[in-house]
């Protein structure tokens, strides 16, 4: 059995990286942010010196257990991939869209904003050294009305970049695994192309997915969005969704010439995810790549990149495209997501990567604990209705009837 996760006291809210302009939005309930705290990126999974990951469960609960959030079904959007490839930069444009669409509620306006305003949100910077470590969650959970009329809670995650000089292979696999298992939309951020090693990083999940598929009859993962940055071959496939579909078909194609292992990998990837798509983006321009003072202003970004960005973000976050998180075919509420975080962090707390079968057991355990918590909450609510402080007590003679 995996060792217990190490819990850290929540000091994350004292070190919010950058602020949104909507910090005066009111929250209700016991687990709310104080008026002095502003929205920002909160590190909920931290990387220790000895390559151990710890969960700041208190910070996680303060975000997800707010009274107006905890019982809402959740959409979890995560960005993963190699370090220094613009994941946090992308997420800040997702934040702009979310603020514009779900707070300002201007559905058809220019969500990208003015040309001369710096980009704020998740911490990012230019250069060759890593910036993000562990897993960060944006402290504001957005409420979005789906096409069904249901209000859902939308959570944004940023992840530590893989394959930097300080991370082990296990570190990279752990962060990628956690974000894939916990998200409903996993954006796989790649540079220039989809290469064979990019597909091989999904190997751990394909075996888990095969077991889960056999156990529950449902695909364990939902949407995998390949996002190819700095696509340099528009003469082969155009920028955007259609070009991405063309390249994805080529990369996942199975042929007789391939080694059996490569064929199996492609078959399992297709069987593990409910939806797989790809989007090709151009290079944002030399000012973005080489100017150390670049701060995200639209005026410094190439027009074709901005055009692609304006197409990509609604594909991910428009109400009709939001995807509720499901595990074993059951939609997950915000309060349930806390338990899945704890169970999966337990799973990856050992010195070795877990066996796929262990991943299946951890999911079943989290399902059970979540069901127990829901049953206890329902029981307490019903009993309060019968025996609560506002109810008259029973006389002794009534017990004897």
Distances (CA, A) of 235 to 84, 242, 310: 26, 13, 21
Where are the strands (E) in 294-378, listed by range? 326-327, 330-331
Give residue 8's pLDDT band: very low, low, confident or very high (50, 70, 90).
very low
CATH of domain 12-399: 3.40.50.300
What is the pLDDT, as a whole number, of residue 387? Answer: 63
Q: Which residues pair with 185 in a beta bridge?
A: 77, 223
- Comparing 1-15, 45-59, 291-305, the range with the smallest average pLDDT is 1-15
- How far apart CA 242 and CA 300 sit, in angstroms, is 27
- How far apart CA 108 and CA 325 sit, in angstroms, is 26
Instruction: Give, in degrees to the nearest 5, the angle at Cα 264 between 231 and 233.
Output: 10
Is the confidence at residue 145, as pLDDT, over 70? yes
**What are the pLDDT digits (tens) for 279-337?**
999 999 988 878 878 887 999 999 999 999 999 999 999 999 999 999 888 899 999 99
What is the pLDDT, as a whole number, of residue 205? Answer: 65
Residues 6+ apart with CB under 8 A from 316: 77, 94, 185, 187, 225
Where are the domains positioned within the chain? 12-399
Residues 6+ apart with CB under 8 A from 145: 151, 152, 319
**What are the pLDDT digits (tens) for 195-237?**
998 898 887 666 766 676 667 777 888 999 999 999 999 999 9
Is the confidence at residue 241, as pLDDT, over 80? yes
Angle of helix 334-347 relative to helix 57-64, nearest 10 degrees, comes to 160
Could you tell me if 199 and 266 are in contact, meaning their C-beta atoms sit under 8 angstroms apart?
A: yes
- How far apart CA 189 and CA 139 sit, in angstroms, is 22
Give residue 349's pLDDT band: very low, low, confident or very high (50, 70, 90).
confident
Give this prediction's pTM. Answer: 0.79
**What are the pLDDT digits (tens) for 75-116?**
999 998 876 567 878 988 999 999 999 988 776 678 998 899
Q: What is the mean pLDDT of residues 262-275?
A: 89
What is the pLDDT, as a whole number, of residue 129? Answer: 40
What is the pLDDT, as a whole number, of residue 15? Answer: 44
Could you tell me if 41 and 134 are in contact, meaning their C-beta atoms sit under 8 angstroms apart?
A: no
What is the pLDDT, as a whole number, of residue 20? Answer: 39
Burial 323-353 (b: 16+ CB within 10 A, else e): bbbbbbeeebbbbbbbbbbbbbbbbbbeeeb
Residue 133 structure tokens: 């470590």
Q: How many CB atoms lie within 10 A of CB 262?
A: 15
- How far apart CA 200 and CA 215 sit, in angstroms, is 24
- How far apart CA 60 and CA 376 sit, in angstroms, is 21
**What are the pLDDT digits (tens) for 162-208?**
544 455 667 777 788 888 889 999 999 999 999 998 898 887 666 76
Residue 236 structure tokens: 């082969």
């Amino acid at each position: 059995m995996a060792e217990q996760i190490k819990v850290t006291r929540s000091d994350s809210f004292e070190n919010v990286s950058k602020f949104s302009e909507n910090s005066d939005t009111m929250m209700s309930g016991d687990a709310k942010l104080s008026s002095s705290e502003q929205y920002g990126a909160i590190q909920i999974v931290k990387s220790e010196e000895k390559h151990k990951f710890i969960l700041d469960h208190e910070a996680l609960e303060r975000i997800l257990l707010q009274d107006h959030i905890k019982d809402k079904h959740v959409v979890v959007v995560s960005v993963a991939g190699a370090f220094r490839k613009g994941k946090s930069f992308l997420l800040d444009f997702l934040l702009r869209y979310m603020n514009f669409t779900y707070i300002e509620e201007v559905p058809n306006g220019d969500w990208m904003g003015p040309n001369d305003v710096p980009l704020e949100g998740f911490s990012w910077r230019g250069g060759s050294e890593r910036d993000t470590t562990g897993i960060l969650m944006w402290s504001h959970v957005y409420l979005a009305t789906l096409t069904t009329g249901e209000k859902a809670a939308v959570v944004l995650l940023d992840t530590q970049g893989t394959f930097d000089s300080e991370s082990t292979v296990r570190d990279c696999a752990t962060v990628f695994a956690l974000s894939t298992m916990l998200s409903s939309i996993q954006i796989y951020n790649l540079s220039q192309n989809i290469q064979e090693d990019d597909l091989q990083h999904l190997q751990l999940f394909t075996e888990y997915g095969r077991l889960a598929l056999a156990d529950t009859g449902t695909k364990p993962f939902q949407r995998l969005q390949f996002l190819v940055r700095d696509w340099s071959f528009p003469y082969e496939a155009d920028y955007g969704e259609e070009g991405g579909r063309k390249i994805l078909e080529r990369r996942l194609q199975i042929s007789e010439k391939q080694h059996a292992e490569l064929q199996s990998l492609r078959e399992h990837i297709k069987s593990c995810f409910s939806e797989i798509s790809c989007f090709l983006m151009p290079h944002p321009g030399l000012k973005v790549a080489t100017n150390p003072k670049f701060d995200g202003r639209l005026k410094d970004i190439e027009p074709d990149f901005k055009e692609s960005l304006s197409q990509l973000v609604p594909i991910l976050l428009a109400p009709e495209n939001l995807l509720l998180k499901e595990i074993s075919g059951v939609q997950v509420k915000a309060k349930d997501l806390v338990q899945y975080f704890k169970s999966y962090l337990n799973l990856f707390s050992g010195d070795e990567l877990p066996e796929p079968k262990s991943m299946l057991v951890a999911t079943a355990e989290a399902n059970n604990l979540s069901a127990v918590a829901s049953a206890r909450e329902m029981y307490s609510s019903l009993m309060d209705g019968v025996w609560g402080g506002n109810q008259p007590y029973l006389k002794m003679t009534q017990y004897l009837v």
